[in-house]
């Protein structure tokens, strides 16, 4: 089973975090629906050319977050929690909004200007000038 996940050697983040983030993104986007079986830990480790421990750490973190469930002897699956994808997308939105606020602070951009830019982004597809 090909996972279609990629590990970047130039990414400063640990490999298990790269795996975790990519799986979260797939679930949040709806690409991996509830009940979808994930590759086994060994298969994913072989596919990504990383250690089994790296994949196991990613799966354990995702399980602790409620993104996946592991059934002994059956494998790991995307959790069937209703609203999980929405919650994950909202968390992603919050991260982007925090980043935008930080950039605005670094530019000494008044709050109203930032809000105006957000309103503009909501009503158009073109970036604000």
pTM above 0.75, yes or no: no
Architecture of domain 15-78: Orthogonal Bundle (1.10)
Every domain of the chain and the residues it spans: 15-78, 84-123
Lookup result for tokens 């980043």: 99
Q: What is the pLDDT of residue 112?
A: 93
Quick: pLDDT tens for 53-97.
Answer: 999 999 999 999 889 999 988 999 999 865 666 777 787 788 889
CA dihedral sign, ordered 29, 122, 111, 127 = positive
Q: What is the pLDDT of residue 84?
A: 65
């Amino acid at each position: 089973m090909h996972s279609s996940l990629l590990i970047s050697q130039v990414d400063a983040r640990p490999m298990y975090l790269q795996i975790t983030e990519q799986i979260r993104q797939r679930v949040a986007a709806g690409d991996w629906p509830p009940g979808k079986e994930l590759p086994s830990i060994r298969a994913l480790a072989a596919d990504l050319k990383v250690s089994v421990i790296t994949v196991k750490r990613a799966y354990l973190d995702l399980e602790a977050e409620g993104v996946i469930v592991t059934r002994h002897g059956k494998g790991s699956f995307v959790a069937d929690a209703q609203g999980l994808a929405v919650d994950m997308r909202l968390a992603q939105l919050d991260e982007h909004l925090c980043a935008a606020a930080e950039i605005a602070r670094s530019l000494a951009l008044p709050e109203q200007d930032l809000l105006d830019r957000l309103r503009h982004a909501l009503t158009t597809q073109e970036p604000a000038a």
